[in-house]
């Protein structure tokens, strides 16, 4: 056996390569089993990043379908409620360049919640059926009201209302919400002019 | 009345090192003893180097800032380009031709610093990048060190100096092997004999004519910086300790195969310049104090390894650049234990692990 | 002698304490109005229990704590409630908060207080109740409701914080010089709340020798009843931020408060000395917290010193009383120079936690020079008392890398400002951290909300699917039943048929008439049935074709538009009516505005509907 190998370098090379291939294959196979990544499927990860307003502005009936859409190759800039922050996060996850928001699907807006002017409500339940997150309480011929804490501000209840008694009101910030902004770059990037003024003053 | 609404604190330190520019000025001041020693032993070459380097570095800095549309005066005011110029000038052999300095300055300021985003964003020490580019590209010019004046040769007349720098006149007769070269290429002599016979060690006690004094000069400057709290002791002590301990094992009793004594390594080549002026560059070094100790020690070890077994006689620049690479890695594993935490965590920790 | 530990980092800014310790505790004239915010601290705002126009006496409860983490609010002086409205808060944001506006009547007449001659007989619950009733909130700066802190079960150490490490502030110093005995009495009182207490410590920095002497004097004079714990005065070296809760705990006990926990987790409760005194006065004399000692200092003032200020006094009033020179100053700081916040609107009031008003002249505390590049010098890391790496945090705050910020423990930052203080590049580091923390908190909040929305959305989808499935199942059932019925019918018919066939063959000859009748009857039924089906089909087809028919569709559209127009018009009518009614009733301006807007909107809609209708016609 060894003689044959020694006399035929071609065969010995084949054997050597074969052995190597076999060994590394086994190692890789073992590693793939042993170190299997139990990650979320991509759809879940994308769904995590979407704002869950379920507003349908992207053209899908909810955030998860859009997540599925993105996995199937749709653009990632169709979500106005999430805005640029969501686009950036998605771009980061998918490792692509972050585009700017597609204006066709709407513009980034301040956060709002729906508010029903209760004295005008006729109790038609149309908004209740439209609400994707069941944030409207009420029954037929009874006054309806929005649970502000649960409202995602998706806007879907405004259209169906036959008496137009639903307003989208901006969420007011409170002391506990307030936080400092990053230092304003215009404020901190010095210019020579400023410098000169200062030195003249001094 | 227009009231401002800045975030606290509303007061700032007013100590001697209250601003980045004054830190840099202190560093410039601290290079003086070493510069004086260099000039004393090698003539005005170093000062000429310095002038050239300052002109080129500030010129390139201005150009780069202009191109990047940044306020020139404001950024020149941080003195960082000046420090780079000085470090480069001190590392390059005296009487180096002007274009050598120009090339070095270009790589230091434009490539190593501004292409990476300017001060604070450069991963590599600019002066060392400039130096290494020169060392690799022009090995002959970069290893021609003049014979120290103490050996009876006297100083090079100013005219000859200018000739050497601007007209490319050769100084062959005036250059000699540095002590590090001497040890490296030593064949068959014991260390004692080498010290007795080789010209590089004439009238030297530890580490070669002139060189030991140059190193002492930088040591003095470095200690001044330490006293001024410009940096912490961790990185220099790490480097010097490593450079002291390793030779203990390879001194070999001073035989012909000796790698040189611990003191020889401490006081030859660019050891002290490196330990106090280069590896202490905070931008490119590790962040935490423990990290800096490790960073310094690794540089010391690398310097010794390259000096003894590498191709180049001195190695501070290579060692520094190699460890610049490793600094973020060291950072990840040397995050100090925060108040209220059981133990230190690696910054690589994943969100779900805590 | 107790061993004094050390904490990492810290700085030694100029102390600037002498300016305000020359005089004693001074008082100023009553302001024209007092603005008392309903929320002066972390937690829930109090609920007002007074009405506009009502007259209240000094010390009368005007707003009641809402929930556990909340504090009562009392009238700081006697007078009339002028309004309960939004007023600028004493807060870095400059936002407005709901506040009670009180116009003093100048009599300063107290309500009858419920004093307690023998507070040592009270049990823990009674003490906590009295402290809560008096509306006590931490007076050291954070203003956390005191009674909440007294609820800890397993507390071994009570620490009174007299370190007052911030430059300029001397409110606690002066308080100790004058009321050391009351502070000690307060300490003993609070100690009785904790059954397992082992030691009572007072931590004080060594730069307040007069306060220390006063404390020691009072301690020596304190009657030793034998059953109380000894109070130990611990003098710590002056170093900012030794007065930080976590730092003082480390200095005095060597222990660290675990990250994300409160000191009670390691058996320690800390109270400010002023809070301790207030607790004593609340229990002994029934006095609610309506005033406090505030240091008013800075070179932009004619007179500097400590003032006993009523809670709710507009800062502008304090400043005018002290000869504030507006031209010399460019910021009004509430709190000290290290952690205080600058306010834009000086009508903001002094609140329970306001220990200092700092009015530096432009030379005294010049504005920070422009930010330079971070050279990662590490001075910040050396100064950080929480042993963070501020330079890394800065880096990641700029990059808004929330994961890394957490990995570098940004939430352990106490925002003491030591890093910004030493930064040679004058980078406003603390602002970066505050912004980063805020963004992370906001992101967490949004995440919680979106998770909730996802759950609700999925639940709804499920419910709808279930309803659909049920409908489908019912439909199937009906179909099955119908088929069954059909089959049965067919079987029956078959049986009848065979029976009839049998009978037919039996009586073929004699009953031809009958069978013919029967035969004729069966197809009759069938014919009727098929006729009905045909009709139904035709109707359906007609309906379908009608739907598809353009002309009839347009008619419908027209009708729809007409309906839309009429409803829009009626809405407009209604909106106008409401507006008129409100105008007549004299509703407030914002309400009228919204109503007017609604009318406009309705008009717009009518116009739209009209246009649409015209276009359709």
Cβ contacts of C360 on chain B, cutoff 8 Å: 10
pLDDT at residue B318, as a whole number: 92
pLDDT at residue B149, as a whole number: 61
- Is A74 inside a domain boundary? yes
pLDDT digits (tens, 9 = 90+) for C413-472: 999 999 999 888 888 899 999 999 999 998 888 888 888 888 888 898 899 999 999 999
Q: What is the mean pLDDT of chain C?
A: 85
- Residue B146 φ/ψ, nearest 5 degrees: -65, 150
- Is A91 inside a domain boundary? yes
Q: Which residue has the higher pLDDT, A101 or C558?
A: A101
Q: What is the mean pLDDT of residues C592-598?
A: 78
Q: What is the mean pLDDT of chain A?
A: 82
- Is A128 inside a domain boundary? yes
Q: What is the mean pLDDT of residues C318-335?
A: 89
pLDDT at residue C544, as a whole number: 56
Confidence of residue C532 (pLDDT cuts 50, 70, 90): low
Looking at chain C, the number of H-run helices and the number of E-run strands are 15, 17
Q: In percent, how much of chain B has pLDDT > 70?
A: 82
pLDDT at residue C577, as a whole number: 79
Please determine, for residue B2, whether its predicted confidence score (pLDDT) is greater than 60.
no
Residue-range domain boundaries for chain C: 18-358, 379-441, 552-616
Do the Cβ atoms of C257 and B23 come within 8 Å?
A: no
**Chain mean position to CA B318:** 11
- Is A93 inside a domain boundary? yes
pLDDT digits (tens, 9 = 90+) for A122-131: 888 888 988 8
A100 with A137, same domain: the answer is: no
pLDDT digits (tens, 9 = 90+) for B253-263: 777 667 778 88
User: What is the distance in angstroms between the Cα of A137 and the nearest Cα belonging to chain B?
Assistant: 37
Lowest mean pLDDT of A41-55, B144-158, B301-315, C507-521, name the range: C507-521
Nearest-CA residue of chain B relative to C396? B347
Lowest mean pLDDT of B1-15, C266-280, C374-388, C588-602, name the range: B1-15
pLDDT at residue A174, as a whole number: 78
Do the Cβ atoms of C370 and A189 come within 8 Å?
A: yes
- Residue B255 φ/ψ, nearest 5 degrees: -75, 180
Mode of pairing for the β-strands spanning C73-74 and C61-64? antiparallel
Please determine, for residue C536, whether its predicted confidence score (pLDDT) is greater than 70.
no
pLDDT at residue C612, as a whole number: 77
pLDDT digits (tens, 9 = 90+) for B173-219: 556 667 777 777 776 677 777 777 776 666 666 667 678 888 999 99
Please determine, for residue B354, whether its predicted confidence score (pLDDT) is greater than 50.
no
Q: Is the ipTM of this complex over 0.90?
A: no
Confidence of residue A141 (pLDDT cuts 50, 70, 90): confident
User: What is the distance in angstroms between the Cα of C242 and the nearest Cα belonging to chain A?
Assistant: 25
Question: Could you list the residue range(s) of the whole structural domain that residue A114 is in?
Answer: 110-175
Please determine, for residue A201, whether its predicted confidence score (pLDDT) is greater than 60.
no
* Number of CB atoms found within 10 A of residue C83's CB: 15
Please determine, for residue B59, whether its predicted confidence score (pLDDT) is greater than 80.
yes
A90 with A120, same domain: the answer is: no
Residue-range domain boundaries for chain B: 19-177, 178-334
pLDDT at residue A197, as a whole number: 42
Confidence of residue B276 (pLDDT cuts 50, 70, 90): very high
pLDDT at residue C515, as a whole number: 47
pLDDT at residue B33, as a whole number: 92
Say if CB B9 and CB C415 are below 8 A apart: no
Say if CB B316 and CB B271 are below 8 A apart: yes
Q: In percent, how much of chain C has pLDDT > 70?
A: 89
Q: Which chains touch A (3 or more CB pairs under 8 A)?
A: B, C
With 0-12 CB in 10 A as exposed, 13-18 as middle and 19+ as buried, what is C434?
Answer: buried
Please determine, for residue B14, whether its predicted confidence score (pLDDT) is greater than 90.
no
User: What is the distance in angstroms between the Cα of C93 and the nearest Cα belonging to chain B?
Assistant: 9
Q: Which residues are CB-contacts of C286 (< 8 A; sequence separation ≥ 6)? A: C113, C114, C115, C116, C130, C134
* Number of CB atoms found within 10 A of residue C29's CB: 10
Do the Cβ atoms of C260 and B339 come within 8 Å?
A: no
Residues pairing with C58 in the sheet: C110
Confidence of residue B3 (pLDDT cuts 50, 70, 90): low
pLDDT at residue A199, as a whole number: 43
B4 in reach of chain A (CB within 8 A): no
pLDDT at residue C561, as a whole number: 78
The closest of B79, B97, B99, B98 to B31, measured between CA atoms, is B79
A133 in reach of chain C (CB within 8 A): yes
**Distance, CA of C611 to CA of C603 (rounded, Å):** 12
Q: Which chains touch C (3 or more CB pairs under 8 A)?
A: A, B
Looking at chain A, the number of H-run helices and the number of E-run strands are 8, 4
pLDDT digits (tens, 9 = 90+) for C558-574: 777 777 787 778 778 87
pLDDT at residue B53, as a whole number: 94
pLDDT digits (tens, 9 = 90+) for B168-177: 666 555 566 6
Q: Which of C340, C376, C434 sits opposite B120 (nearest CB)?
A: C376
Please determine, for residue C388, whether its predicted confidence score (pLDDT) is greater than 70.
yes
Lowest mean pLDDT of A191-195, B100-104, C268-272, name the range: A191-195
Q: In percent, how much of chain B has pLDDT > 90?
A: 35
Do the Cβ atoms of B71 and A190 come within 8 Å?
A: yes
The number of folded domains in chain A is 2
pLDDT at residue A58, as a whole number: 86
What dihedral angle (degrees, nearest 10) is formed by the CA atoms of A92, A93, A96, A98?
Answer: -50
Cβ contacts of A178 on chain B, cutoff 8 Å: none
pLDDT at residue B61, as a whole number: 94
A116 with A99, same domain: the answer is: no
Do the Cβ atoms of B231 and C377 come within 8 Å?
A: yes
Please determine, for residue C125, whether its predicted confidence score (pLDDT) is greater than 50.
yes
Q: What is the mean pLDDT of residues C114-127?
A: 86
Lowest mean pLDDT of B268-277, B319-328, C149-158, C512-521, name the range: C512-521
Please report, for the domain that includes residue A169, its CATH number.
Answer: 3.30.70.20
Confidence of residue B278 (pLDDT cuts 50, 70, 90): very high
pLDDT at residue C84, as a whole number: 93
Say if CB C394 and CB C376 are below 8 A apart: no
pLDDT at residue C311, as a whole number: 93
CATH for the stretch C18-358: 3.40.50.11540
Q: Which of A150, A179, A195 sits opposite C434 (nearest CB)?
A: A179
pLDDT at residue C289, as a whole number: 92
Q: Which residue in this structure is represented by tokens 């302001």?
A: C31
3-state secondary structure of A149: coil
Please determine, for residue C339, whether its predicted confidence score (pLDDT) is greater than 50.
yes
Q: Which chains touch B (3 or more CB pairs under 8 A)?
A: A, C
| Residues B334-350 as b or e (16 or more Cβ within 10 Å = b) | bbbebbbbeeebebeee
Lowest mean pLDDT of B120-134, C61-75, C595-609, name the range: C595-609
Interfacial residues of C (vs A; Cβ cutoff 8 Å): 39, 89, 91-93, 95, 97, 370-372, 397-398, 428, 431-432, 434-439, 441-442, 446, 449-454, 456-461, 567, 571, 574, 601, 605
* Substitution target from C397, C417, C432, C454 for chain A, most A beta carbons within 10 A: C454
Q: What is the mean pLDDT of residues A60-75?
A: 88
The closest of C338, C328, C413, C357 to C20, measured between CA atoms, is C357
pLDDT at residue A198, as a whole number: 42
Q: Which of C375, C381, C386 sits opposite B20 (nearest CB)?
A: C375
Confidence of residue C313 (pLDDT cuts 50, 70, 90): very high
Confidence of residue B6 (pLDDT cuts 50, 70, 90): confident
3-state secondary structure of C571: helix
Do the Cβ atoms of B9 and C338 come within 8 Å?
A: yes
pLDDT digits (tens, 9 = 90+) for C223-249: 666 667 888 999 999 999 999 999 999
- Is A195 inside a domain boundary? no
* Substitution target from B68, B71, B350 for chain A, most A beta carbons within 10 A: B71
Confidence of residue A186 (pLDDT cuts 50, 70, 90): very low
Say if CB B72 and CB B245 are below 8 A apart: no
pLDDT at residue C105, as a whole number: 92
Q: What is the mean pLDDT of residues A108-122?
A: 86
Q: What is the mean pLDDT of residues C398-424?
A: 89
Confidence of residue B154 (pLDDT cuts 50, 70, 90): low
pLDDT at residue B119, as a whole number: 86
pLDDT at residue C203, as a whole number: 93
């Amino acid at each position: 056996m060894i003689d044959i190998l020694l006399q035929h370098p071609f065969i010995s090379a084949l054997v050597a390569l074969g052995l190597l291939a076999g060994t590394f294959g086994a190692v890789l196979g073992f590693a793939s089993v042993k170190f299997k990544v139990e990650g979320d499927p991509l759809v879940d990860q994308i769904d995590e990043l979407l704002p869950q307003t379920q507003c349908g502005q992207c053209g899908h009936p909810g955030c998860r379908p859009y997540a599925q859409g993105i996995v199937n190759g749709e653009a990632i800039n169709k979500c106005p409620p999430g805005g640029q922050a969501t686009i950036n996060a998605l771009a980061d996850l998918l490792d692509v360049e972050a585009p700017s928001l597609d204006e066709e699907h709407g513009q980034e807006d301040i956060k709002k919640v729906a508010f029903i002017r209760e004295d005008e409500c006729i109790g038609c339940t149309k908004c209740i059926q439209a609400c994707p997150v069941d944030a409207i309480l009420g029954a037929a011929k009874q006054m309806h009201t929005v649970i502000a804490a649960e409202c995602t501000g998706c806007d879907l209840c405004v259209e169906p209302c036959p008496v137009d008694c639903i307003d989208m009101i901006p969420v007011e910030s409170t002391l506990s919400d307030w936080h400092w902004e990053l230092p304003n770059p215009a404020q901190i990037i010095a210019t020579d002019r400023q410098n000169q003024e200062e030195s003249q003053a001094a | 009345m227009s009231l401002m609404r800045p975030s606290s604190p509303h007061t700032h330190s007013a100590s001697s090192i209250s601003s980045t520019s004054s830190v840099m000025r202190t560093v410039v001041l601290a290079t003086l003893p070493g510069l004086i020693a260099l000039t004393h032993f090698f003539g005005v070459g170093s000062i000429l180097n310095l002038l050239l380097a300052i002109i080129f570095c500030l010129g390139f800095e201005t150009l780069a800032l202009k191109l990047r549309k940044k306020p020139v005066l404001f950024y020149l005011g941080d003195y960082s380009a000046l420090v780079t110029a000085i470090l480069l000038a001190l590392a390059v052999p005296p009487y180096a031709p002007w274009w050598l300095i120009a090339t070095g300055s270009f790589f230091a300021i434009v490539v190593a610093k501004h292409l990476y985003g300017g001060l604070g964003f450069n991963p590599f020490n600019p002066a060392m990048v400039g130096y290494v580019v020169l060392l690799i590209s022009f090995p002959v010019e970069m290893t021609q060190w003049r014979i120290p004046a103490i050996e009876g040769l006297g100083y090079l007349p100013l005219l000859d100096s200018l000739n050497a720098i601007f007209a490319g006149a050769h100084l062959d007769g005036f250059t000699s092997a540095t002590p590090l070269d001497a040890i490296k290429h030593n064949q068959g002599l014991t260390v004692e004999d080498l010290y007795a016979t080789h010209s590089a060690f004439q009238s030297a006690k530890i580490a070669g004519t002139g060189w030991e004094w140059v190193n002492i000069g930088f040591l003095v400057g470095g200690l001044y910086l330490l006293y001024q709290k410009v940096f912490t002791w961790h990185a220099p002590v790490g480097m010097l300790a490593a450079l002291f301990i390793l030779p203990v094992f390879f001194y070999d009793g001073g035989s012909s195969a000796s790698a040189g004594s611990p003191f020889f390594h401490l006081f030859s080549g660019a050891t002290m310049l490196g330990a106090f002026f280069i590896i202490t560059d905070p931008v490119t070094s590790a962040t935490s104090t423990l990290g800096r100790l490790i960073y310094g020690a690794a540089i010391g070890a690398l310097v010794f390894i390259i000096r003894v077994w590498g191709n180049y006689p001195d190695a501070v620049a290579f060692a520094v650049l190699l460890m610049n690479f490793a600094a973020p890695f060291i950072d990840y594993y040397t995050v100090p234990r925060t108040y209220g935490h059981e133990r230190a965590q690696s910054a690589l920790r994943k969100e779900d692990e805590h | 002698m107790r061993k004094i530990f050390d904490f990492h980092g810290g700085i030694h800014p100029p102390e600037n304490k002498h300016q305000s310790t020359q005089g004693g505790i001074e008082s100023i004239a009553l302001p024209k109005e007092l603005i008392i915010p309903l929320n002066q601290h972390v937690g829930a705002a109090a609920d007002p229990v007074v009405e506009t126009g009502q007259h209240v006496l000094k010390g009368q409860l005007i707003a009641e704590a809402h929930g556990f983490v909340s504090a009562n609010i009392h009238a700081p002086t006697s007078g009339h409630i002028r309004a309960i409205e939004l007023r600028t808060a004493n807060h870095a944001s400059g936002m407005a908060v709901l506040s009670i506006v009180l116009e003093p009547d100048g009599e300063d007449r107290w309500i009858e207080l419920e004093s307690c001659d023998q507070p040592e007989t009270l049990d823990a619950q009674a003490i906590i109740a009295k402290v809560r009733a008096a509306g006590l909130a931490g007076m050291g700066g954070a203003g956390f409701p005191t009674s909440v802190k007294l609820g800890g079960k397993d507390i071994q150490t009570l620490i009174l914080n007299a370190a007052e490490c911030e430059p300029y502030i001397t409110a606690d110093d002066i308080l100790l010089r004058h009321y050391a005995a009351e502070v000690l009495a307060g300490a003993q009182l609070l100690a009785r709340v904790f059954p397992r207490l082992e030691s009572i410590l007072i931590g004080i920095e060594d730069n307040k020798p007069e306060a220390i002497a006063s404390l020691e004097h009072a301690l020596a004079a304190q009657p030793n009843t034998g059953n109380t714990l000894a109070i130990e005065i611990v003098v710590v070296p002056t170093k900012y931020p030794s007065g930080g809760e976590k730092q003082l705990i480390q200095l005095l006990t060597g222990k660290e408060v675990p990250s994300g926990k409160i000191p009670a987790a390691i058996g320690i409760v800390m109270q400010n000395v002023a809070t301790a005194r207030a607790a004593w006065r609340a229990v002994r004399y029934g006095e609610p917290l309506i005033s406090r000692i505030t240091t008013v200092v800075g070179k932009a003032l004619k007179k500097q010193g400590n003032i006993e200020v009523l809670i709710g006094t507009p800062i502008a009033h304090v400043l005018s009383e002290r000869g504030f020179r507006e031209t010399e100053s460019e910021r009004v700081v509430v709190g000290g120079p290290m952690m205080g916040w600058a306010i834009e609107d000086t009508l903001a009031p002094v609140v329970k936690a306001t220990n200092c008003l700092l009015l530096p002249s432009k030379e005294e505390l010049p504005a920070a020079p422009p930010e330079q590049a971070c050279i990662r010098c590490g001075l910040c890391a050396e100064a950080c008392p929480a042993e963070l790496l501020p330079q890394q945090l800065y880096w990641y705050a700029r990059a808004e890398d929330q994961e890394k910020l957490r990995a570098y423990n940004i939430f352990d930052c106490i925002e003491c400002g030591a890093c910004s203080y030493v930064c040679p590049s004058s980078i406003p580091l603390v602002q970066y951290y505050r912004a980063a923390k805020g963004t992370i908190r906001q992101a967490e909040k949004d995440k919680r909300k979106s998770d909730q929305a996802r759950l609700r959305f999925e639940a709804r989808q499920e419910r709808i699917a279930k309803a659909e499935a049920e409908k489908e199942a019912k439909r199937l059932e009906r179909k099955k039943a119908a088929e069954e019925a059909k089959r049965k019918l067919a079987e029956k018919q078959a049986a009848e048929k065979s029976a009839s066939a049998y009978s037919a063959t039996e009586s073929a000859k004699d009953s031809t008439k009958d069978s013919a009748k029967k035969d004729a009857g069966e197809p009759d039924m069938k014919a009727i049935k098929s006729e009905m089906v045909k009709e139904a089909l035709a109707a359906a087809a007609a309906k379908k074709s009608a739907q598809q028919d353009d002309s009839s569709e347009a008619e419908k559209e027209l009708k729809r538009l007409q309906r839309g127009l009429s409803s829009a018009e009626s809405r407009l009518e209604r909106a106008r009516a409401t507006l008129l009614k409100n105008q007549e009733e004299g509703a407030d301006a914002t309400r009228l505005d919204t109503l007017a807007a609604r009318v406009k909107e309705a008009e717009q809609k009518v116009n739209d509907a009209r246009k649409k209708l015209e276009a359709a016609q």
